[in-house]
């Protein structure tokens, strides 16, 4: 079970650092998704543990929509 009280007890600087890392990684995922022709909304799904591994596999082995335009 997840202990939510432990997350509340974290110092504000740590919470800010975590939020910054999540925001930056989401930004990177959006850029990658746009470049290969996928919807940028996939970036939100990339933040879900274990689902992100499935999506990386999907990106690697499905034809990219941007490659079809060339």
Domain boundaries, the chain: 4-69
- Which candidate, 22, 21, 32, places its Cα nearest to that of 55? 32
pLDDT tens profile 23-60 = 999 999 999 888 888 889 988 888 888 998 998 898 88
> Would you state the pLDDT for residue 21?
94
**Predicted pLDDT at 67:** 76
pLDDT of res. 30: 93
DSSP string for residues in 7-34: HHTS-HHHHHHHHHHHHHHHHHHHHHHH
Round to whole Å and give the CA distance between 67 and 15: 39
Beta carbons within 8 Å of 27's beta carbon, 6+ residues apart: 43
- pTM value surpassing 0.75: no
**pLDDT average, residue stretch 11-22:** 90
């Amino acid at each position: 079970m997840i202990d939510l009280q432990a997350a509340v007890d974290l110092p504000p600087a740590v919470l800010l650092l975590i939020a910054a890392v999540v925001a930056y990684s989401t930004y990177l995922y959006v850029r990658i998704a746009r470049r290969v022709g996928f919807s940028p909304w996939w970036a939100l799904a990339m933040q879900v543990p274990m689902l992100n591994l499935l999506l990386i596999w999907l990106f690697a082995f499905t034809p990219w929509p941007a490659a079809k335009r060339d």
